[in-house]
Amino acid sequence: MPTVNVYDLQGQVTGELTLSDVIFQVPINMALLHQAIVAFEANQRAGTADTKTRSEVRGGGRKPWRQKGTGRARAGTIRAPHWRHGGVVFGPHPRDFSVKFPRKMRRAAIRQALSAKLAANELKVVNDLTLSEIKTKHVLAALDRLNVGRNVLFVTATPNERWKLSARNFKGVHTVTTDNLNAYSLLRYHQIVLDAGAVARVEEVFAR
């Protein structure tokens, strides 16, 4: 079983934690991780893009000019696709982009993403993320002391509003609970920081 150091917000090692090899030391299936990312991004699409066909564009009910004798090409409507302000051919219309991704596959992808982050030394555990007040400077100090850069995903067992509000000014810093964890976020951020409660919750939920 892998063992990691546990840090406090001062960047000091306060102990060690043995992680479950069922979660943090599993073989990586790149095809599954790719499928998880594709499904996540597809499910984020609104699918509301819409264009008007020639039958939906306003106007064009009258024939622009007579069929013969003008020397110009024949035209039946000013809303034909090749006319300016005309209809759009094969344009986008509202559709559902959602992709089904079974729960077992989703959990397997999360386990593999966590294992990949641990293997790449891009995962840290802190004992607690409790702040006395909502202040961005506290998060800034913690980022520097933990040496995790500015592209970090913090994972907590329960909602931590003080930490979340204090970290929101950093574009690359995001905070989620274990209930909202997904493989896309785990792989997108350069560093993953879990509090001790999140580790316990992850091992409880995603072990099966």
Chain segment 60-81, per-residue pLDDT in tens: 889 999 999 999 999 999 999 9
If you search the block for the tokens 């499928």, which residue do you land on? Answer: 35
Mean pLDDT of 98-112: 95
pLDDT over threshold 90, residue 95: yes
Asked if 25 and 109 sit in the same domain, the reply is yes
d(CA 51, CA 88): 7
84/109 same-domain check: no
Domain shared by 106 and 152, yes or no: yes
Band of residue 195 on the pLDDT scale cut at 50, 70, 90 = very high
pLDDT band at 124 (very low <50, low <70, confident <90, very high): very high
**Whole-angstrom distance, CA of residue 199 vs CA of residue 208:** 15
Q: Of 180, 185, 175, 179, which Cα lies nearest the Cα of 37?
A: 185
Give the tens place of pLDDT for each residue, 17-33. Answer: 999 999 999 999 999 99
Please check the confidence at residue 201 and state whether its pLDDT lies above 90: yes
Range of the domain at 8: 3-43+99-205
Q: Do 103 and 164 fall within a single domain?
A: yes
**Total structural domains in the chain?**
2
Share of the chain above pLDDT 90, in %: 90
Half-sphere exposure of 41 (CA within 13 A, CB side): 9
| 172 and 109 belong to one structural domain | yes
Q: Based on the domain organization, do 186 and 123 belong to the same domain? A: yes
Shared-domain flag, residues 71 and 108: no
**Same domain as 164, residue 201:** yes
Query: What pLDDT shows up at residue 96?
Result: 95
CATH number (domain holding residue 150): 3.40.1370.10
- Name the average pLDDT for the chain: 93
Q: Check whether 136 has a pLDDT greater than 90.
A: yes
